[in-house]
Structure formats: C-alpha cells, structure tokens
Amino acid sequence: MDNSHYNAGKGQTNVPPLQSVTTHGHLTYVNSHSQPTPVDKIDIQGTIDKGFFLSEGEWTCYRRNYFSCICSFSLDPPNLHNLPIRYTQTASGVTYDVFDFAMTITAVVSESDAHTIDLVQHTPKRDKGPTSQPERVKLSPKHIVPSSHPLGAGMYAYNRLAGGGAMGAGYGDYSQAQGAHPTEHTFERIQFKQATANNGKRRAAQQYYHLVIELHANVGEMGRGVADQWLRVAHRKSAKMIVRGRSPGHYQSERRGSASSGPGGSSGTLGSYSGQVPDYNGGSSILTPSYGNQTYETRPTHHYGTNHRHHEMQIDQIMSADQCKSIDNTKGYQYYPGAIYEGHDHRDGGGIPCFPRNDQDTMIPSLSRNSDLSISRLKHENEGQLPSLCIPGPNYLGPGCNRYDGKSTSAGYYPISQTS
C-alpha cells in the first residue's frame, strides 16, 4: 500500500505536511578498522494518513475519528555494512552505543512543546477493546537511494524490499543488523485524546496541535531488555492542526479526509529529505492560502475554551523503557484481529490497506448553512496543501512518555482569530 510513490501529483496535498527534522545529537558509524564515519543526516519520514482534511486552510480532524501515521527514518549515508552506531547527544556531549532505534508518535500544543497531548490508540474493537498510547516500535533505518536531484523533496527513493504490498506483513525490509526490524511502521487507529481549544470557531484564539514523529535510540545495556534506555535522537513535527471535539454535524458542511469505513485512506508521503515547507510560525494563524475557505463551516458557537493550566514538564530525554511505555498497558492489544501491532511483529499492513483516495473534491459545498445534519457524509473539502506550519521549536526534549501528561489543555493560543 502505500506509500511512497504517489507524491507527486496530488497525493501529498491530501495529508498534513511535516516540518523539518530536528535532531538532538548526531550519529556515527564505528568501524574498527578505520575511523568513524559520521552520519550526515538523520531523516524522518512520516505520512499522516486518514482523518485529516483542510478546512479554511487549516488541517483539521475530529477527535473522535481515527487517523494513522506511517513512520520510518533513514540515515545518510546509509549503514550499508551494519556497522555499530554511536550517538552523541548534543546537550550533554555524551556518546552512547546505540543498540536499537525505535519510533513513536506523540502530540504537543503548538508553541508549547512541553504541553503534550495524549494520543490514544484503539483496537478494531474500539470501545470494547483496550486503548493505549502509541507505542515505541523498534525500526531499522530505511535505506535511501538519493537520486540525482538536488532539490530533494520527493526525489529520493526508498528501497523497500519487502514491503510488498503492504498489507500482509508490512514489514519492510530488514536492512539493518541492529535487530533487523521493519523499516516502517504504521500507527493505526490513533486519536487525539482531547480537542484543541476552540476548534474552529472564531471568537477566541484557536489552539493548534502538532503531531510529533520521534526517533529514539536504545542506548541501554545490551543484554537485558530491562536496561533499555531510550534517548530521543530526532523528531519531526507536523504542520499545526485543529482537532475538533464534536461531531461533524456541528460544523455543517465539512468532510473528512478519508477514512471512510474501510480501509482506505489516502496516502501520500511526506517525508523527504528536504523539509518541505519552511517553517513559519505563525504568530498568527497565518492565512490561509488562497483557496481559503472553500469549506465553510460557520457556526459560531462557542467562545473560548478555557483552559486549565499547562504543565510544563520537561523531562529529559532519557526514558527508560519501563517508564515510558510500560505504563500500564504495554502494548495492550491483545487482539489484533487482523492487524498488527507489535508484539512481535509489528506491523502494519495487516490491517489496512490504504490506497490513495482519489477524489479530492473540488466541489464547494454549496450550502453554507443549513443545518441539516443529515448530510453526514459529504465528501468534499478541500485539500489544498499546507496550512501553515509553525514553529519548530528549538528542540524539545519532551516528555514523551507518560500517558497522561497531556492533560494540559489549552495552552497555546494564538492571538489572532481568524478573520471573519
């Protein structure tokens, strides 16, 4: 399924873009016979699939709907000979031996990286099954084959050996010795635990979230898993996004991006070497691109959402395995009817094939205000492209691990309201 390739045309405008990669240290290949070779670039690829759509130029999704995120990372130059890797953390200057790499996804409030927002992952049973936070999944780097294009974006091909179609196994290629893990993982059935304050309404500042795709390195003592110690090596934030807390009916005409029932979704790939958009922060919510409001949702209803406070926790980047994920449910899912989840095999494909959804509709909702909820399924919405990105925070070492940190709600507001 998936990914990769269709980027060029329109595909990528279907999903929220990502900002550039932020690293927290550097990696080095260690060769006993010669001198160490530095890894010039750590790249994180991620595709936020399903669930998001553009509304008034802003990437939006419903808190209650699922979205999925395909994650992978690559090192340049690639570790062709499976050399041992060392990681030197920028902040401390300390160098560690890396035994494994893993990725996970988290979310933070825009302009407030320390405020994490919990993500929840459901099993196909949804309410009848357990929920958990996305787990850290061990992955091996995906080798990239740079094409000759200097411009990057989309110009690199990733080798996928096996991924075969993705579904069944989804394991991509095993290219690295460090455990020979899959090179890609799809976090499926993810939801934000809470909505952004003021989702979509004007009147008060709109809060935004960012999905954060993180790359961690296990520098723990090798032999025992107990001693795993994970450091956040790099992360890549998505464009800012609005998470609506209520049903679509409250927003009148809208649509969502994909996910209709069934496997399917759009897909595009965002990752690539060059970040695509310059990060820009908005001190404001930037304006929307010209297509501005194709979607119309007008429903002034609320005022502000207040907030509670925000905790700022800044944990250090080290997290032990236990702390982080094992918080209660370790992977919780025990049943994966068809799908995946790691347990021993992670993976994705299993469950949901996603194919590109073709339609992007170009139609504009013609009515703006009827309240007929009956329209529950419209499929239009624009999918333009990048909403606006926001700031790349310096680096954030965030918390990453707890499950409920995220309780802080609302905190980053924007000073501006959207125009009216």
Partner DNA sequence: TCCGACACATAGGA
Partner DNA sequence: ATCCTATGTGTCGG
Strand partners, 138: 102
Using the rule CB under 7 A, is 300 a contact of DNA? no
SS3 250: helix
User: Which of residues 259, 270, 286, 324 is near DNA by CB under 7 A?
Assistant: 259
Using the rule CB under 7 A, is 249 a contact of DNA? yes
User: Which of residues 242, 352, 354, 411 is near DNA by CB under 7 A?
Assistant: 352
Report the C-alpha gap between 307 and 304 in whole angstroms. Answer: 9
Q: Which of 106, 105, 101 is nearest to 75 (CA)?
A: 101
SS3 286: coil
Up-side HSE of residue 319: CA atoms within 13 Å toward CB? Answer: 24
The residue range among 195-203, 274-282, 323-331, 388-396 that interacts with DNA, by the rule CB under 7 A, is 195-203
Residue 122's CB is within 10 A of a number of other CB atoms, namely 18
Q: Which amino acid, 220?
A: G
Q: Which of 64, 396, 89 is nearest to 212 (CA)?
A: 396
Using the rule CB under 7 A, is 197 a contact of DNA? yes
Using the rule CB under 7 A, is 266 a contact of DNA? no
Give the DSSP per-residue string, 161-213: SS-TTSSS--------TTT---SEEEEEEEEESSPPTTTT-SSSPPP-EEEEE
Query: What backbone torsions phi and psi does residue 408 show, to the nearest 5 degrees?
Result: -70, 135
Q: Show contacts with DNA in window 213-232 (CB under 7 A).
A: none
User: Which of residues 32, 148, 290, 376 is near DNA by CB under 7 A?
Assistant: 376
Tokens of 185: 């993982």
Using the rule CB under 7 A, is 253 a contact of DNA? no
Strand partners, 60: 53, 242
Pick 277 or 363: Cβ nearer DNA? 363
Core vs surface per residue 263-285: b (16+ CB within 10 A) or e:
bbbbbbbbbbbebbbebebbeeb
Using the rule CB under 7 A, is 188 a contact of DNA? yes
Tokens of 203: 């009147």
Using the rule CB under 7 A, is 247 a contact of DNA? yes
Query: Least distance in Å: CB of 106 to DNA?
Result: 16
User: Which of residues 195, 340, 389, 390 is near DNA by CB under 7 A?
Assistant: 195
Using the rule CB under 7 A, is 250 a contact of DNA? yes
User: Which of residues 127, 150, 224, 366 is near DNA by CB under 7 A?
Assistant: 127
Using the rule CB under 7 A, is 409 a contact of DNA? yes
User: Which of residues 124, 130, 146, 289 is near DNA by CB under 7 A?
Assistant: 124
Query: Least distance in Å: CB of 250 to DNA?
Result: 7
Percent helix, strand and coil across the chain, each rounded to 5?
A: 5, 30, 65
∠ Cα 182 186 189 (to 5°): 150
User: Which of residues 260, 362, 370, 419 is near DNA by CB under 7 A?
Assistant: 260
Radius of gyration of the chain (CA): 20
Using the rule CB under 7 A, is 373 a contact of DNA? yes
User: Which of residues 29, 52, 59, 62 is near DNA by CB under 7 A?
Assistant: 62
Query: Least distance in Å: CB of 90 to DNA?
Result: 35
User: Which of residues 38, 283, 303, 309 is near DNA by CB under 7 A?
Assistant: 303
Using the rule CB under 7 A, is 309 a contact of DNA? no
Using the rule CB under 7 A, is 33 a contact of DNA? no
- Residues near DNA (CB under 7 A): 50-51, 62-66, 122, 124-127, 188-189, 193-195, 197-199, 245-250, 256, 259-263, 301-303, 305, 337-338, 351-352, 373, 376-377, 409
